[in-house]
A and B are shown apart, each in its own frame.
Chain A
Amino acid sequence: MKDKRATMKETVASLVKDGDTVVIEGFTHLICFAAGHEIIRQGRKGLTLARLTPDLIYDQMIAAGCAKKLVFSWAGNPGIGSLHAFRRAVESKPPTLELEEYSHFGMVARLCAGSANLPFWPLRNYGGTDIPKANKLIKQVDCPFTGEKLAAVPALRPDVTIVHAQRADQSGNTQIWGLMGVQKEAAFASKKVIVVVEEIVEESVIRSDPNRTLIPGLQVDAVVCEPWGAHPSYAQGYYDRDNDFYAAWDKIARDEASLKKYLDEFVFGVRDRAGYMKRNPGLAERLKAKDLVCAGVNYGY
């Protein structure tokens, strides 16, 4: 099997281009901050950033000037409040960020269509709401069998999708447990796929538990190993979500100067995730997961 391992720097340099539609997925869980930071360091411009919940990582990328457009369904700091760089961009007169807005189900449906190589996906949604008025790409279709009016959303086919995961082998067979979000659909919808993992394991480890594989290596272009690459998001079984940092971000991002200072120190001021971890002493001890190992199953026949 092909060895697709590379550094984050090499991978972003070769696979993420100015103007691309980029998806860094992960619903609360497994959001790849390490990749977002490398994209910022390499100064990518004009990106269309798509994901359900832009979260802190897209707030940082918007602040760093990477984004031209945001495609999303919920742009807040979960449990805390606003994404301030996002709000500044959208509330400025005129706005400096284009928006294309759906609901979660709408975004999931777009990736389902993309992953199934269909032009659109039908869903029973949006009746009585103003969301289709705000986004003309949400249309209505008649069911050819029952005549029922259904909503339809267009397929999302990202240029590149970045998925964080617990482990993969060197050819990109990727195993995820805990919340899976839309990681699989996003990977299959995408033209190029980068997998970033906590650990590279032997192919035999993957083969010992094939039901755990969410994304097969045949769909993956590059495998990057960067432990703690999802922080302040989390990796089940590896480290907890840094809820304190999510709360702290509210204050950091409220002020443009303090946000810039954060980027200077923790993004531009380091070379990679190992450097980032050195800048955050005590973090690993504070967030490291407790063990809770399941027994596994019998695959015999």
Chain B
Amino acid sequence: MPQTAETAFTLNELMCVLAAREIKDGDVVFVGIGLPNLACNLARATHAPNMTLIYESGAVGAIPERVPPSIGDPALVTGSLMVCSMQDIFQCFLQNGKIQVGFLGGAQVDKFGNINTTVVGPYENPKVRLPGSGGASEIALHAARVLIVTKLDRRAFPEKVDFITSTGKRVKKVITNMGIMEPDAKTGELVLTALYPGVTKEQAQENLGWKLTSRDPLGAVDLPHDDEIKLLREKLDPKRLHIK
């Protein structure tokens, strides 16, 4: 991607900024660790000061001082609005429809946005045993909008996943390192809706396991603004743990 001195940003920074912009002010967001967590912090520091971060570990309205290395980090507790049991998290909040946005990732994502975090190969005798669902399968069913942030890769985007851990029914956007995919309103199939500058449809296709269709015309990508990049580098991830 061509970069000038002023607009030079890394792909992770771009993905982070685009993910942050998917959050609306007032949203209640069920968040994991890593890039999505950083995206939430960026959204809260910019256009969505009234968003609420909820972690499956029980922290509600957390304002972590450090980007949590784990989903149960003590910094999620300190200063948060509420700390509750996991029974409350899954029943009163998630199943009760209080969550607008859920961030998910996965080892495999298929053309309908189904996610596999369970096994590569057959379940009974797997080639690679992955961690499993955690809270992902219920987040995928109950969050109003599911966002996937991950890099395009032929192995990670097969036509059909080996195991459906989390359904793709509520996936609204897949933010990748090459462009954006969204489900087709009729078929539910993920279609390319935007490409980053300097990336071609052919390059995206090469990194995807199914025949990619594109929206015509493709949407424009509003690239990261200087203030967003500055916030990320100077305040939100100064050690560059997630935006390198």
Mask, A223-244, CB within 8 Å of B = 1, is 0000000000010100011010
Residues B167 and A180 in contact, CB atoms below 8 Å apart: no
Mask, A90-107, CB within 8 Å of B = 1, is 110111000001111100
Residues A180 and B85 in contact, CB atoms below 8 Å apart: yes
Tell me if B224 is interfacial: C-beta within 8 Å of chain A: no
B3 CB → nearest A CB, Å: 30
Residues B137 and A129 in contact, CB atoms below 8 Å apart: yes
Of the candidate stretches B70-78, B144-152, B225-233, the one touching chain A is B70-78
- A134 and B122 alpha carbons, distance in the complex (Å): 10
- A124 and B94 alpha carbons, distance in the complex (Å): 10
B58 CB → nearest A CB, Å: 5
Tell me if A179 is interfacial: C-beta within 8 Å of chain B: yes
Report the number of A-B residue pairs with Cβ-Cβ less than 8 Å. Answer: 159
Residues B83 and A179 in contact, CB atoms below 8 Å apart: yes
Residues A240 and B167 in contact, CB atoms below 8 Å apart: no
**Which residues of chain A are within 8 angstroms of B87 by Cβ–Cβ distance?**
108, 112, 182, 185
B interface residues (Cβ-Cβ under 8 A, vs A): 33-34, 56-59, 69-74, 76-78, 83-87, 90, 94-95, 114, 118, 123, 125-138, 141-142, 163-167, 169
Q: Which of B34, B59, B85 gathers the greatest number of chain A CB atoms within 10 Å?
A: B85
- Whether A130 touches B165, Cβ cut-off 8 Å, given contacts A112-B87, A292-B78, is yes
**Which residues of chain B are within 8 angstroms of A128 by Cβ–Cβ distance?**
114, 141, 164, 167, 169
**For chain A, which range describes its interface: under 10, 10 to 19, 20 to 34, or 35 or more residues?**
35 or more
Which residue in chain A gives the minimum CB-CB distance to B77? A178
Which residue in chain A gives the minimum CB-CB distance to B55? A179
- A95 and B70 alpha carbons, distance in the complex (Å): 29
Q: Which of B132, B138, B169 gathers the greatest number of chain A CB atoms within 10 Å?
A: B132
User: Could you pull out 9 A-B pairs where Cβ atoms are within 8 angstroms?
Assistant: A73-B134, A76-B130, A82-B131, A91-B128, A112-B87, A125-B137, A129-B137, A179-B83, A180-B86
B134 CB → nearest A CB, Å: 4
Residues A125 and B134 in contact, CB atoms below 8 Å apart: no
Which residue in chain B gives the minimum CB-CB distance to A180? B85
Residues B138 and A179 in contact, CB atoms below 8 Å apart: no
Residues B73 and A134 in contact, CB atoms below 8 Å apart: no
Please report whether the interface of chain B is mostly helix, strand, loop or mixed according to DSSP.
loop
**Which residues of chain B are within 8 angstroms of A125 by Cβ–Cβ distance?**
95, 137-138, 141
**Which residues of chain B are within 8 angstroms of A27 by Cβ–Cβ distance?**
57-58, 72, 86
**Which residues of chain A are within 8 angstroms of B163 by Cβ–Cβ distance?**
130, 134
Residues B132 and A28 in contact, CB atoms below 8 Å apart: no
Tell me if A205 is interfacial: C-beta within 8 Å of chain B: no
Residues A72 and B69 in contact, CB atoms below 8 Å apart: no
> Which of A29, A73, A124, A184 contacts B133, CB < 8 Å?
A73
**Which residues of chain B are within 8 angstroms of A216 by Cβ–Cβ distance?**
none
B89 CB → nearest A CB, Å: 8
A85 CB → nearest B CB, Å: 12
B142 CB → nearest A CB, Å: 8
- A130 and B129 alpha carbons, distance in the complex (Å): 15
Residues A74 and B131 in contact, CB atoms below 8 Å apart: yes
**Which residues of chain B are within 8 angstroms of A236 by Cβ–Cβ distance?**
74, 77
Residues A180 and B134 in contact, CB atoms below 8 Å apart: no
- In the complex, besides A28-B73, A130-B165, A236-B74, 17 extra interface pairs with C-beta distance below 8 angstroms are A27-B57, A27-B72, A29-B57, A29-B74, A94-B125, A104-B86, A105-B90, A105-B95, A128-B164, A130-B118, A178-B74, A179-B57, A179-B83, A181-B57, A181-B58, A181-B86, A241-B74
Residues B73 and A241 in contact, CB atoms below 8 Å apart: yes
A105 CB → nearest B CB, Å: 4
Which residue in chain A gives the minimum CB-CB distance to B116? A130
A253 CB → nearest B CB, Å: 14
B128 CB → nearest A CB, Å: 7
Residues B72 and A29 in contact, CB atoms below 8 Å apart: yes
Which residue in chain A gives the minimum CB-CB distance to B96? A124
- Whether A127 touches B141, Cβ cut-off 8 Å, given contacts A179-B77, A181-B86, A185-B85, is yes
- Whether A74 touches B126, Cβ cut-off 8 Å, given contacts A79-B69, A179-B59, A180-B84, is no
**Which residues of chain A are within 8 angstroms of B70 by Cβ–Cβ distance?**
28, 78-79, 241, 243, 246
Residues A74 and B134 in contact, CB atoms below 8 Å apart: yes
Tell me if A249 is interfacial: C-beta within 8 Å of chain B: no
**Which residues of chain B are within 8 angstroms of A133 by Cβ–Cβ distance?**
123
Tell me if A118 is interfacial: C-beta within 8 Å of chain B: no
- Whether A124 touches B132, Cβ cut-off 8 Å, given contacts A28-B71, A130-B164, A181-B85, is no
Residues B134 and A93 in contact, CB atoms below 8 Å apart: no
